[in-house]
Amino acid sequence: MDINQIFGYIGALFIGVVLGLIGGGGSILTVPILVYLLFVNPVTATAYSLFVVGISSLVGAIRNIQKGLVDFKTAIVFAIPAFIAVYITRKYLVPSIPENLFSIGDFMVTKNIGIMLFFAFVMLVASVSMIRNKREERLETSEVSYNYPLIIVEGVLVGVVTGIVGAGGGFLIIPALVLLAKLPMKKAVATSLLIIAIKSLIGFIGDVENLVIDWPFLLIFTGISVVGIFLGIYLSNFIEGKKLKKGFGWFVLIMGVYIIYKELTM
């Protein structure tokens, strides 16, 4: 095992710790760790990320179900268009992207570069969401109401973004659940994990049919991330996650800028 592999598996643990501490965001580091430390092809890395994100979110969702925080009706309304979109994206859209997209002078933007640049853009948007973090808490007793057309549109949008970059999309889902389904923040965060788990794992099924999966590696990487989640949950008893969220947002912002620089100067 070389130094990059060691750092890659440490990164897997870090992903879980962040998820356990702040309830989301850590999964957005999965693709960069797989691509730059473990040298996994970007298309395969986004597939592996869906599996890691799906299993990690499922662990968190089960804990929240036990606490009675998950709104199942909202999860179903949002998840159906999201998982249909993510499955179609992974099964048909991603494989149909041409290997060479376009050229700028002598610089050829390939499929892999395009995916990483789009991923970096998503990281930048997510980082701004984490840094600002100005969502207002709704009362737990407020009535849940649904804006069905917008929920469906948002679900499709999140599904496509998740399908392309392999990230959970919690930074898109949580505001949608608060604004469109009028869920209190705690329930929105808890319900988003169940939605992320469902759509990520169904999206991964689309990849199983298209890609050769290195199951031993993927299960080890995912297992380390899950251990990290429980470590993060334990540490959350001593560290306030909200304070860490803004700092982690700045870290994600720097990582996004680094990916853009690396992909355009390779």
- The dihedral built from the CA positions of residue 225, 229, 234 and 237, taken in this order, carries a sign that is positive
> How many domains are there within the chain?
1
| pLDDT digits (tens), the chain, 266 positions | 789 899 999 999 998 888 877 766 667 888 899 999 999 999 899 899 989 988 988 988 898 899 898 999 888 888 899 889 988 988 898 889 999 988 888 888 899 999 899 989 988 988 888 788 665 555 454 565 667 788 888 888 888 888 887 776 777 788 788 877 788 878 888 888 888 888 888 889 888 878 899 999 999 999 999 999 889 888 877 877 667 778 888 888 998 999 999 888 87
Q: Are 258 and 35 in contact (CB under 8 A)?
A: no
DSSP string, 8-72: HHHHHHHHHHHHHHHSSSGGGGHHHIIIIIS---HHHHHHHHHHHHHHHHHHHHHHHHHTT---H
Q: Are 180 and 150 in contact (CB under 8 A)?
A: yes
Domain around 230: 3-265
Question: Tokens for 106?
Answer: 């002598």
pTM: 0.82
- The dihedral built from the CA positions of residue 138, 142, 147 and 148, taken in this order, carries a sign that is positive
pLDDT for res 25: 66
Q: Could you tell me how many residues make up the chain?
A: 266
